[in-house]
Structure 1
Amino acid sequence: MPDGVQIDTDKVGEVGRDLQTDAESGFAVAADRGASLHRHGVEFAARLTPSSAATEAKIRYAQALANTEANLRAHHAAAGVLAGAAQEIARLFATSDMTSAHAQRKVQDLIHDAVRAADAAVGSTTDGAV
């Protein structure tokens, strides 16, 4: 077995394209739909006499909705970053001699940068989650 990374560039490119499709037609659509469905705000208990329990429940519900929508948007961003990295890696492998140390370092850097960017996108929504 040769040293270094071996890759099926068609499969990696396919993964990248699938991630991009999921990002655009999955996470983004779900976030937009959630925002549209809840644009009117939290209406439950609107006709009841105000109480601290109902008010607290409405506040927590509104926070949960906001966090869910933020998480969907962050996952959309993360999926886009990872899709781009997968597509770039496939392109690099398909067009260069990937046995070289320089090419392998480039792939490692792409993976590292994509994971860090995806973590940052997703991690920014977990602060103060309900």
Structure 2
Amino acid sequence: MPDGVQIQTDQVNEFAQDLRADADKGFASAADRGADLHAHGVVFGKSIPGDTVLDAKNRYAEALANTEANLREYRRMAVIFAEVAEQIARDFAHVDMSSEAAQLRVQALLDGAIANADAVQKGGQA
């Protein structure tokens, strides 16, 4: 077994493409569909008076908003990690992965993607 990192760049690139497709067609589409389906608001129990039904409606509306926000955030994170996978595939298509410099470059790209994702989650920009 050779020393160093073994990267199969075509598989990394395929992973990146799949992740990007999930981001563009999966998460984004699901969030948009959810928003469209619930654009009218929470209408169940509108003719039933009382705080219990109102509390349930409010919790349901909050759950819907959180789900849609999570789907949008999953999309943003998927794009960040698809970009780093594409970068790894490009950068390492023709290098000797047993070199320490190449291994450090892979680690730096992954660390950068994680830091970028953390910053985005904390309200920064990607």
Normalising TM by the smaller chain, what interval? 0.7 to 0.9
What does the per-residue CA deviation read over 1:57-104, in whole Å, with 9 as the maximum and x for residues that have no partner?
A: 011001000000010001001111111111111111114343332222
The alignment covers a number of residue pairs equal to: 123
Paired with 1:118 and 1:41, the residues of 2 have a C-alpha distance of 31
Alignment of 1:16-35 (within 5 A): 16-35=16-35
Gaps of 5+ in 2: none
Q: Deviations over 1:44-66 (max 9, x none)?
A: 11122x20101100110010000
1:103-122 equivalence runs, <5 A: 103-119=102-118, 121=120
Query: Structure 2-normalised TM-score?
Result: 0.88
Q: 2:7: which partner in 1?
A: 7
Residue number in structure 2 paired with 1:98: 97
| Separation in 2, partners of 1:123, 1:12 | 28
Q: Distance in 2 between matches of 1:20 and 1:92?
A: 19
Aligned-residue Cα RMSD (Å) equals 1.8
Contact 1:75 1:121 in 2 (8 A): no
Q: Which runs of 5+ in 1 are unaligned?
A: 125-130
Q: Does 1:75 align with 2:69?
A: no
Once the two structures are overlaid, the 10-residue window that deviates more, 113-122 or 38-47, is: 113-122
TM score, norm. by length of structure 1: 0.85
